[in-house]
């Protein structure tokens, strides 16, 4: 029944295409903005200096402070900068986290008001552009404790985003569980997920096999896209895998992570591109088939907020300069052609009038022929041994947060292993192999990669599927992993 409904819905959507814009040419552009984290309490002229949320003191100015989340001046500036750089984009993706990090002090009404105000600002600057938004883990009260379905708050946000969630199916699934699918054009769909349901800080979903039925819905949706020869752009807030600035921090619960990565692998031919936020940093990830061939990648966009994280044991600078991202993509399949990343030098902006400037053009900055997973794999292979190249990547990871910061070999190991290994056990093995402490004389050893058998253990994947989907029967479990 679920499969038939999805197939019928897709057929109806493709005849209407209400979100599509008039598109000419093979490539188009879209903006990616994420993690605005607007803090209404920000004050740059208090008696003890800057004050915001739970922090007091330090330096700052009208555009914010590295100790704080975004003032409204910065939120507006980021959206206006997008319009000034390129107004004629096909669409915008907005990947969540709109409230401050002390969002537990906000009621749901407070969260709603912030989302509504940012929505109005985007509509003001991009009145004729469709925006595809998703919720972040901070877009709830209390933060991260997001239920799997049927909370009235989902419907409240859906009503705010009604100008963009224009299909009945998208409005219904978002109002129920915070995820949706809409057509971009006759060849490409956009899928917005609620990966906050898979987040290890979400205690509500901790013991649920498939919160909100989202994983099965995703599998069904991507399967039907394949059957109809469609491609998919996938967006969400929290990504799978490891945080590249921390040796041991990941976001998904382990069983969710394995299932999600298996879904990416299974449906890689359908996935044109994948985009996340949450990290506040600028990075990318790779995934592989069962023979170790690189078959997919995804991009993590840096945040607008410059907030220095309070996460213990972060490696290197804890903050970043504000950023917004312009993506050139192929309209026929949603794949990324190039990325132009823009940023605001916060220190300079607080001292004098300063424009948002281009941090890099990805292809020229990294010397890439294209942005395919194969080229990105070659890039990270070079980063392992090319100090200057890794140094360039490390500088833009925080958008030049501290131009004078020195990185260590341990930093390189954690970053490169996080990029290459979405699986938690393989990431740990990668770090252990390449750690400077594992080599004599303090030099890192770049050992051969994990074998195919250990990298992708089909029996382990099936066991996880049994544990997570066992309550729903053998047929569903087999359909999810093996297309049966």
Mean predicted confidence (pLDDT) in 158-167: 95
What are the backbone angles phi and psi of residue 308, rounded to the nearest 5°? -75, 120
Residue from 228, 126, 232 nearest 179 by CA:
232
Quick one: residue 241, left, alpha or beta (phi over 0 = left, psi -120 to 50 = alpha)? left
Q: What angle do CA 369, 89, 117 make, to 5 degrees?
A: 125
What does the pLDDT read at residue 441?
Answer: 47
**pLDDT per residue over 224-262, tens digit each?**
999 999 999 999 999 999 999 999 999 999 999 999 999
295's CB contacts (< 8 A; 6+ apart) are: 265, 268, 287, 288, 289, 373
Band (pLDDT 50/70/90 cuts) for residue 23 is low
Report the alpha-carbon distance of residue 363 to residue 365 in Å, rounded.
Answer: 6
Strand order through the sheet with 27-33: 130-133, 91-94, 27-33, 323-330, 336-343, 357-361
**pLDDT per residue over 180-214, tens digit each?**
999 999 999 999 999 999 999 999 999 999 999 99
What are the backbone angles phi and psi of residue 61, rounded to the nearest 5°? -170, -165
**pLDDT per residue over 315-346, tens digit each?**
999 999 999 999 999 999 999 999 999 999 99
pTM: 0.90
Report the alpha-carbon distance of residue 186 to residue 199 in Å, rounded.
Answer: 33
What does the pLDDT read at residue 380?
Answer: 98
Does 472 score more than 60 pLDDT? no
Does 11 score more than 90 pLDDT? no
H or E element that contains 348: helix 346-349
For residues 87 and 375, is the Cβ–Cβ distance under 8 A? no
Q: What angle do CA 327, 244, 42 make, to 5 degrees?
A: 75
What does the pLDDT read at residue 57?
Answer: 75
E-strand ranges in 22-179 read: 27-33, 43-46, 49-52, 55-56, 91-94, 130-133
């Amino acid at each position: 029944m679920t499969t038939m409904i999805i197939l019928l819905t897709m057929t109806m959507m493709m005849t209407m295409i209400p979100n599509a814009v008039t598109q000419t040419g093979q490539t188009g552009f879209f903006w990616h903005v994420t993690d605005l984290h607007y803090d209404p309490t920000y004050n740059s002229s208090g008696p003890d200096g800057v004050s915001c949320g739970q922090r007091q003191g330090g330096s700052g100015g009208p555009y914010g402070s590295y100790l704080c989340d975004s003032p409204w001046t910065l939120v507006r500036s980021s959206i206006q900068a997008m319009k000034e750089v390129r107004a004629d984009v096909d669409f915008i993706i907005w990947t969540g986290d709109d409230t401050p990090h002390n969002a537990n002090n906000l009621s749901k009404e407070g969260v709603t008001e912030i989302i509504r105000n940012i929505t109005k600002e985007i509509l003001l600057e991009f009145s004729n552009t469709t925006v595809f938004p998703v919720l972040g883990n901070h877009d709830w009260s209390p933060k991260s404790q997001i239920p799997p379905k049927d909370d009235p708050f989902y419907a409240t946000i859906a009503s705010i985003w009604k100008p963009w969630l224009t299909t009945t199916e998208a409005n219904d699934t978002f109002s129920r569980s915070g995820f949706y699918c809409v057509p971009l054009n006759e060849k490409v769909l956009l899928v917005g997920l609620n990966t906050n349901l898979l987040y290890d800080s979400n205690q509500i979903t901790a013991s649920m096999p498939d919160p909100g039925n989202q994983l099965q819905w995703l599998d069904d949706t991507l399967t039907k896209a394949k059957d109809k020869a469609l491609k998919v752009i996938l967006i969400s807030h929290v990504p799978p895998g490891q945080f590249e600035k921390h040796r041991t921090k990941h976001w998904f619960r382990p069983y969710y992570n394995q299932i999600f990565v298996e879904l990416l692998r299974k449906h890689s031919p359908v996935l044109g591109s994948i985009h996340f936020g949450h990290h506040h940093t600028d990075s990318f990830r790779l995934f592989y088939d069962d023979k170790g061939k690189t078959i997919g990648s995804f991009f993590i966009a840096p945040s607008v907020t410059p907030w220095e994280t309070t996460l213990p044991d972060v490696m290197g600078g804890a903050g970043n300069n504000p950023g917004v991202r312009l993506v050139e993509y192929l309209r026929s399949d949603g794949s990324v052609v190039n990325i132009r990343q823009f940023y605001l030098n916060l220190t300079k902006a607080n001292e004098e009038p300063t424009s948002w400037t281009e941090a890099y053009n990805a292809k020229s900055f990294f010397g890439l022929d294209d942005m395919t997973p194969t080229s990105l794999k070659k890039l990270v292979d070079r980063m392992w041994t090319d100090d200057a190249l890794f140094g360039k990547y490390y500088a833009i990871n925080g958008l030049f947060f501290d131009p004078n910061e020195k990185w260590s070999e341990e930093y390189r190991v954690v970053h490169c292993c996080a990029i290459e290994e979405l699986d938690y056990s393989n990431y740990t093995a990668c770090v252990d192999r390449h750690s400077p402490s594992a080599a004599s004389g303090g030099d890192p050893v770049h050992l051969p990669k994990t074998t195919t058998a250990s990298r992708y253990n089909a029996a382990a994947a099936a066991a996880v599927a049994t544990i997570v989907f066992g309550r729903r029967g053998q047929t569903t479990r087999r359909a999810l992993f093996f297309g049966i």
